[in-house]
Each structure stands twice: as C-alpha cells, then as structure tokens.
Amino acid sequence: MATANKDLSAYDKNAIPNTNGLRFGIVVSEWNENITSGLYNGAVEALADNGVKPEDIITWNVPGSFELIYGCKKMIQSQNVDAVIAIGSVIQGETKHFDFVCEAVAQGIKDLNVQTDTPVVFCVLTDNTLQQAIDRSGGIHGNKGTEAAIVAIRMADLRRSF
C-alpha cells in the first residue's frame, strides 16, 4: 500500500514557496461530502498556514466528481486563479460506474493541465472502501487535501516563474 505508514499531511514549511499575490481555486464535489469536506478543510488550512489570504481562495461546489472537470474549466476561465484544486471522492461499488468515473475525471483533469496555462491538482480519492477514504481525508494517513494544497502552491509558483 502506497500510503502505509505515510502521513499525507506532512511537509516542510521552510521548503514551500512564497504565496504572496497567488490566488487559488478549489472545486469540491458534494458527493461523499463527509470525505470531501475533510479534504477541503485540509486544503484550506494548508493554504492559510502558508500565507494565502482567505480572499485569495475561491471555492465552488459541484454535484459529483464527474462535474469537477467542468467546474475547474470555468474556474480557470473566470476567476483569474494561479492554480485549481479538484476535490472529490469516488468509492468502489458493485458496478463499473466507479471505473468510468475515475477514468473520466483523471483524463479530464489531465486534459485541463495540457490545454490551459493554469495547473489543476488532482485531489480525488479513488478508494475501494469508505474506511480507506476516511483514512486519507483526515484519518490515520493524514489528509490528501493538505498534500494537494502544497502541490498547488508549488505549481502556482512554477507557473509564475515563466
């Protein structure tokens, strides 16, 4: 297991770029809200901990993970953000729906990264069980939302360096 004995929330604050003047978008799926709200809180706390002002964090909700792609696209087009974090949670069920949603969301976010000049960070949990999602959204493995926020800061800094 890739996250065994790993805290997804751990980072070296001294290694994080300056966030002054950076704006971040967060698009959050309402599906599995008990998981996505934990991821969102981790992301916002990490951004704030690294100096991002509340007014420089724009949050939009979308119904499900599939809709993250459109939400991120519109966020990029309309909100003048330096990076976007796509937050979702898809948990394996009894049908192939899980496979289709996970593949589409991963490809859609990849496409946004190729087609636009704004980095979109993939913070979509694709877990086999609810417990795995809980463990990664503020549970025993920390918070993937925190990790995504640090990635967004680093990518926004890379973007502004060109």
For residue 79, give Cα distances in angstroms to 59, 68, 73, 118: 10, 15, 10, 11
Under 8 Å between Cβ of 136 and 91: no
Is 141 an annotated catalytic residue?
Answer: no
Catalytic option among 6, 53, 97, 160: 97
Degrees (nearest 5) of the Cα angle 117, 65, 3?
Answer: 85
| Phi and psi, residue 144, nearest 5° | -65, -25
Instruction: List active site positions.
Output: 97
